[in-house]
């Protein structure tokens, strides 16, 4: 590539030290990185929608006059001022609500000003409103021109507004538009498959100019998308194959156990292992006995019993004199694992300790000492496990739960805590359903096992799709269930450029339910709360002290409350089906008949409705993944990517399986010696800082 693309971001307008730090969190360090920071989706800001035509759930551009503006106080932990403006055009009235605002924004919403705003419409307290829309003051006699094409929406991070990152990326795209760029793939291969060259493909995705381009991109059938999907998957495949080859020659801890402890635990369990669980345990024992480092992916649907398999796998390792570490993505899930492992392993004389980021002072020092002395044989925690202060005496086995939540660099940091530069055995677990052939292809560096049956006694969950118009009757239904001793989850989803607004949505719902159901105990949990506070709320819900737990998707995994029998998910169409299926798995764990209610807006697209029907009609996560694949792609106009595979910038392993033959072909071609420089550039473009894939020592 040209020299400009390898320059740092401080050369760009609007990028100071603080913004550069936020960009670095996204893996953006050079202007080339910005080009590969591809849009997540596109928004249509090409037309004005009359207020009277707005529908809940719609994202729209509106022009209206400010009729009234004022502020009110509400209490959530502390007093907070809320700015509320009433706006109208010739067809109707709606409300703009700002929970966080400054003096300039308040001035922009002065009475009499005409405002052009863009945001999501919702129905609350009997009226239409937008929470934190983008807005500007306009001259209604001479309004600014509307966008002519779809607006790209880029992945971002908290504190970096979508408008800011769009302007920063645009500067790199401007340079691309005015410079020739070196091709990154073999020319003959591109011509053979009718793929566009690098420069035109990249410009098409950042700045689609024709209506035909925007339609093809919206339908995910544009040749530029196809080219980069194949390119990214090939880079991923090359990195994994290289990693696997290096892993297989590493020294590893010798596991020579008698499996005495394993057999004792199996005989003490109040349930029998399923045949699928027994087969996976046998796979793991064979790996330990092979003389090579284990690196195995374990897939199992929600509730299939992966955790007990992981606990059983730890026992031969402990008998052989090594320690085990289990890393979970959230403190809620880590705490759940800790309590299970304590219950199972401590009666066998195996020391179990949990290490969280919130542990401080003497409490933390005591835990670190237990880990360093091997007094603790099994250590469970979050990312806190790979902090520099954590020293293991003899780490021999690593279990990564919900692997897609961790970057490869985090996994490597934990691996490097072994003694004598040995490669620890690894078991990587996930409940995200991926069909077997696809998993074996995309996780080319891993051996593969699957728990494909559920333990007896798991109750099916009745899933219903309920319109927002039936919200009040749904609230009454939940209240009736709680008054009869039941408990319920109420999950709020609002996916925007930061977690703040998702938490605000949960707070609004929490306050509304508390006002409408004063006789019930209602609690709130979200990702921005302190760890101790979250744990207190979760434990109160587990004890049955709380009737309704209002939450963000933070409770997707790790909350096990058998008495909870109702799961309500607002705006479920915003989530991947695997994530909805995970949330549904929080209920149906006890003796009560259980229900999952998908609370949807009236204007769902046909594709979204079909996807909700898949969840309603199926309980098996792998079938759900297959069915989802059948209807996604061309019909999913302007949709977001499937949640859960955050390592990909443009590819989706479910949707893009049709390209696997071309991916194999390209990966094999690029592995030839003549393409060594191209291979290096390909890995840099798509794997970038995650080059740790190929650093295993």
- Asked if 64 and 92 count as a contact pair (C-beta separation under 8 A), the reply is no
Look at residue 636 in the predicted model and tell me its pLDDT.
Answer: 30
> Which of 43-47, 328-332, 524-528 reaches the highest mean pLDDT?
43-47
Q: How is residue 54 written in tokens?
A: 């707005």
Q: What CATH number has the domain bearing residue 142? A: 2.40.50.140
524, 576: one domain:
yes
Give the CA angle between residues 360, 364, 368 to the nearest 5°: 150
CA distance 561 to 555: 11
433 and 479 share one domain: no
Secondary structure (3-state) at 538: helix
Cα dihedral 374→376→379→383 (10° resolution): -60
Is residue 270 predicted with pLDDT exceeding 50?
Answer: yes
Percent pLDDT > 90 in the chain is: 45
Q: Which residue, 401, 430, 451, sits at the end of a domain?
A: 451
Say yes or no: 369 and 506 in one domain: no
Residue 345's pLDDT is what? Answer: 96
Q: Tell me what the mean pLDDT of segment 8-37 comes to.
A: 91
User: With 90 as the cut, is the pLDDT of residue 360 above it?
Assistant: no
Query: Over the chain, what is the mean pLDDT?
Result: 84
Predicted local distance difference test score (pLDDT) of residue 41:
81
Residue 625 lies in a domain: no
Structural domain ending residue among the three candidates 124, 146, 168: 146
Per-range mean pLDDT, top range of 298-302, 384-388, 486-490, 528-532:
486-490
How far, in Å, CA of 466 to CA of 490, rounded? 14
Mean pLDDT of 534-556: 86
d(CA 502, CA 343): 35
At residue 457 the predicted structure's pLDDT band, cuts being 50, 70 and 90, is: low
Q: Per residue in 609-622, pLDDT tens?
A: 888 999 999 888 87
DSSP 405: G
Residues 204 and 319 grouped into a single domain: no
Task: Give yes or no for residue 295 having a pLDDT over 50.
Answer: yes
Quick check: 407 pLDDT over 60? no
SS3 427: strand
In a domain, 342, yes or no: yes
Q: At what angle do helices 211-218 and 198-206 cross, to 10 degrees?
A: 80
Closest by CA to 241, choosing from 674, 689, 683, 647, is: 683
Query: CA–CA distance from 472 to each of 370, 504, 512, 547, 566 (Å)?
Result: 53, 21, 11, 17, 16
Shared domain check, 433 and 581: no
Asked whether residue 167 carries a pLDDT value surpassing 80, the answer given is yes
Predicted confidence band of residue 144 (pLDDT cuts 50, 70, 90): very high
Spatial separation of the C-alpha atoms in residues 629 and 219, rounded to whole Å:
14
Element (H or E) spanning 71, and its range?
A: strand 59-76
Would you give the DSSP letter of residue 414? H
Range picked from 155-164, 195-204, 648-657 for highest mean pLDDT: 195-204
Find the mean pLDDT for residues 200-219. 86
Q: Facing residues of 380 across strands? A: 326, 354
On the 0-12 / 13-18 / 19+ scale of CB atoms within 10 A, 416 is: middle
Q: What is the DSSP string of 86-127?
A: EEEETTEEEEEEESS--HHHHHHT-TT-EEEEEEEEEEETTE
**Residues 550 and 447 grouped into a single domain:** no
Closest CA to 459 of 368, 333, 594, 259: 594
**Token digits for 330?**
């959230």
User: Per-residue confidence at 60, pLDDT binned at 50, 70, 90?
Assistant: very high
Q: For strands 114-124 and 92-98, give the pairing.
A: unpaired
Q: Are 353 and 376 in contact (CB under 8 A)?
A: yes
| C-alpha Rg value of the chain to the nearest Å | 26
Do 671 and 569 sit in the same domain of this protein?
no
CA 466 to each of CA 22, 471, 473, 508, 568: distance values in angstroms, whole numbers, following the listed order: 39, 8, 10, 20, 10
Decide if pLDDT at 656 tops 80.
Answer: yes
Q: How many helices (H) and strands (E) does the chain have?
A: 23, 21
Give the alpha-carbon dihedral of 368, 372, 373, 379, to 10 degrees: 70
- β-bridge pairing 522-525 and 92-98: unpaired
Residue 591 and residue 561 share a domain: yes
Asked if residue 529 belongs to a domain, the reply is yes
69: its two tokens = 């503006």
Residue 27: how many other CB atoms lie within 10 Å: 16
pLDDT of residue 608: 85
Distance (Å) of CA 333 to CA 386, 426, 614: 17, 19, 27
The whole-number pLDDT of residue 634 equals: 25
Within 320-469, residue ranges assigned H as helices are 331-345, 361-372, 408-415, 436-442
CA nearest 583: which of 614, 604, 552? 552
Of residues 290, 338, 291, the one with CA closest to residue 314: 338
Residue 697 binned pLDDT confidence (cut-offs 50, 70, 90): very low
Phi, psi (degrees; rounded to nearest 5) at 206: -80, -35
d(CA 341, CA 311) in angstroms, rounded, equals 7
pLDDT confidence tier of residue 200, bands split at 50, 70 and 90: very high
Position 639 scores a pLDDT of 26
Give the Å distances, CA to CA, from 445 to 236, 249, 396, 428, 558: 10, 13, 19, 12, 27
Can you tell me whether residue 491 is helix, strand or coil? strand
**pLDDT at 498 exceeding the cut of 70:** no
Tell me: the pLDDT tens digits for 617-641? 988 887 887 776 666 532 232 222 3
Task: Judge contact between 574 and 609, C-beta under 8 A.
Answer: no
How far is it, in rounded angstroms, from Cα 312 to Cα 326? Answer: 13
Q: Tokens for 488?
A: 């319920």
Instruction: Answer for the pair 253, 397: CB distance below 8 angstroms, yes or no.
Output: yes
pLDDT tier, 419 (very low <50, low <70, confident <90, very high otherwise): low
Hey, what's the torsion of the CAs at 534, 535, 538, 544, to 10 degrees? -130
What pLDDT is stored for residue 442 in this prediction?
A: 66
Beta bridge partners of 129: 95, 122
For residue 175, is pLDDT > 90? Answer: yes
Position 82 in a domain: yes
Mean pLDDT of 461-470: 91
Classify residue 167: in a domain, yes or no: no
Residue 68: domain span: 51-146
| Inside any domain, residue 291 | yes
Contact 110, 86 (CB under 8 A): no
- For 11, other C-beta atoms within 10 Å of its C-beta total 11
More confident residue, 495 or 261: 261
Where a domain ends, among 585, 601, 618?
A: 618
Residue 242 has pLDDT above 60, yes or no: yes
| Cβ neighbours, 10 Å, residue 221 | 12
Residue pair 51/92 in contact by the 8 Å Cβ criterion: yes
The CA distances from residue 25 to 160, 249, 459, 667, in Å, are 11, 33, 42, 29
- The confidence score (pLDDT) of residue 638 equals 21
What pLDDT band is residue 558 in, cutting at 50, 70 and 90?
A: low
Q: So what's the pLDDT on residue 654?
A: 67
471/384 same-domain check: no
Residue at 387 is within a domain: yes
520-to-238, 516, 523, 544 alpha-carbon distances in Å: 55, 9, 10, 12
Which one has a higher pLDDT value, 645 or 249?
Answer: 249
CATH of the domain at 429: 3.40.50.300
**Res 421: pLDDT:** 65
What is the total count of domains within the chain?
A: 4
Residues 401, 326 contacting (CB under 8 angstroms): yes
In a domain, 78, yes or no: yes
Report the chain's terminal Cα–Cα distance, integer Å.
Answer: 30
Report the share of the chain in percent with pLDDT over 70: 87
* In a shared domain, residues 498 and 525: yes
340 and 394 part of one domain: yes
Write out the H or E segment, with its range, that includes residue 462. Answer: strand 461-467
Cα dihedral angle (365, 369, 372, 375), rounded to 10 degrees?
Answer: -140
Mean pLDDT comparison of 211-215, 467-471, 551-555, 602-606, highest-scoring range = 467-471
Residue 696 banded pLDDT, cuts 50, 70, 90: very low
Q: What is the mean pLDDT of residues 347-376?
A: 91
Encode 659-697: b = buried (16+ Cβ within 10 Å), e = exposed: bbebbeebbebbeeeeeeebbebbbbbbbbebebbbebe
Q: Are 487 and 549 part of one and the same domain?
A: yes
Task: Give 200-261 as a DSSP string.
Answer: HHHHHHHS--SHHHHHHHHTT--HHHHHHHHHHHHHHHHHHHHHHHHHTTS---------HH
Looking at the DSSP bridge assignments, the partners of residue 450 are 299
Q: What value does the mean pLDDT take over residues 421-450?
A: 76
CA distances from 178 to 204, 478, 654 (A): 14, 60, 36
Q: Which of the residue ranges 65-69, 159-163, 438-442 has the most confident prediction, judged by mean pLDDT?
A: 65-69
């Amino acid at each position: 590539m040209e020299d400009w693309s390898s320059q740092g971001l401080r050369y760009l307008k609007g990028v100071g030290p603080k913004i550069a730090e936020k960009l670095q969190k996204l893996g953006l360090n050079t202007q080339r990185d910005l080009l590969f920071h591809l849009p997540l989706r596109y928004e249509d800001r090409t037309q004005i929608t009359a207020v009277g035509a707005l529908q809940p759930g719609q994202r729209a551009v509106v022009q209206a006059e400010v009729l009234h503006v004022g502020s009110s106080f509400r209490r959530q932990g502390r007093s907070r001022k809320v700015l509320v403006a009433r706006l109208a055009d010739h067809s109707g009235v709606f409300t703009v609500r700002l929970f966080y605002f400054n003096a300039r924004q308040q001035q922009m919403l002065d009475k009499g000003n005409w405002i052009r705003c863009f945001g999501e419409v919702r129905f609350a307290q009997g009226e239409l409103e937008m929470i934190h829309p983008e807005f500007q003051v306009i001259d209604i006699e001479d309004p600014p021109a509307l966008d002519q094409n779809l607006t790209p929406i880029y992945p971002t991070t908290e504190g970096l507004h979508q408008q800011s990152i769009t302007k920063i990326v645009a500067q790199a795209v401007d340079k691309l538009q005015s410079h020739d760029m070196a091709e990154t793939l073999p020319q003959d291969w591109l011509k053979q498959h009718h793929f566009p060259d690098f420069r035109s493909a990249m410009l098409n995705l950042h700045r689609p100019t024709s209506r035909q381009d925007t339609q093809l991109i919206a339908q995910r059938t544009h040749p530029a998308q196809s080219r980069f999907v194949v390119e990214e998957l090939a880079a991923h495949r090359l990195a994994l194959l290289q990693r696997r080859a290096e892993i297989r020659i590493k020294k590893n801890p010798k596991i020579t156990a008698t499996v005495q402890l394993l057999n004792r635990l199996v005989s003490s369990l109040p349930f029998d292992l399923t045949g699928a669980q027994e087969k996976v345990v046998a796979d793991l024992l064979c790996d330990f006995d092979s003389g090579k480092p284990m690196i195995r992916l374990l897939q199992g649907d929600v509730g299939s019993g992966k955790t007990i398999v992981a606990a059983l796998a730890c026992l031969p390792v402990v008998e052989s004199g090594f320690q085990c570490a289990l890393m979970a993505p959230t403190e809620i899930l880590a705490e759940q694992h800790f309590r299970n492992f304590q219950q199972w392993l401590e009666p066998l004389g195996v020391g179990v300790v949990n290490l969280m980021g919130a542990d401080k002072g003497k409490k933390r020092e005591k835990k670190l000492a237990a880990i360093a002395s091997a007094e603790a044989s099994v250590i469970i925690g979050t990312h806190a496990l790979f902090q520099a202060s954590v020293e293991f005496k003899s780490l021999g086995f690593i279990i990564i739960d919900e692997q897609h939540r961790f970057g490869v660099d985090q996994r490597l940091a934990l691996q490097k805590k072994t003694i004598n530069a040995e490669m620890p055995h690894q078991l990587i677990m996930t409940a995200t359903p991926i069909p077997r052939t696809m998993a074996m292809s995309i996780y080319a560096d891993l051996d593969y096992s699957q728990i494909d049956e559920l333990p007896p006694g798991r109750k099916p969950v009745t899933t219903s799709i309920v319109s927002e118009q039936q919200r009040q009757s749904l609230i009454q239904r939940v209240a009736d269930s709680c008054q009869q001793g039941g408990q319920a989850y109420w999950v709020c989803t609002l996916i925007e450029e930061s977690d703040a607004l998702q938490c605000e949505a949960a707070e609004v719902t929490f306050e509304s339910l508390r006002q409408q159901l004063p006789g019930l105990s209602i609690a709130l949990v979200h990702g921005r709360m302190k760890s101790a506070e979250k744990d207190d709320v979760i434990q109160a819900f587990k004890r049955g002290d709380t009737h309704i737990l209002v939450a963000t998707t933070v409770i997707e995994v790790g909350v096990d409350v058998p008495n909870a029998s109702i799961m309500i998910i607002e705006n479920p169409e915003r989530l991947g089906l695997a994530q909805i299926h995970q949330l549904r798995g929080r209920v149906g764990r006890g003796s009560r008949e259980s229900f999952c209610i998908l609370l949807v807006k009236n204007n769902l697209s046909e594709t979204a409705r079909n996807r909700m029907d898949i969840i309603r009609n199926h309980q098996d996560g792998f079938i759900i993944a297959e069915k989802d694949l059948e209807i996604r792609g061309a019909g999913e106009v302007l949709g977001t990517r499937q949640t859960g595979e955050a390592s990909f910038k443009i590819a989706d392993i479910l949707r893009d399986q049709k390209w696997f033959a071309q991916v194999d072909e390209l990966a094999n071609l690029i592995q030839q010696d003549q393409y060594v420089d191209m291979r290096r550039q390909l890995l840099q473009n798509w794997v970038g800082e995650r080059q740790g894939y190929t650093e295993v020592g």
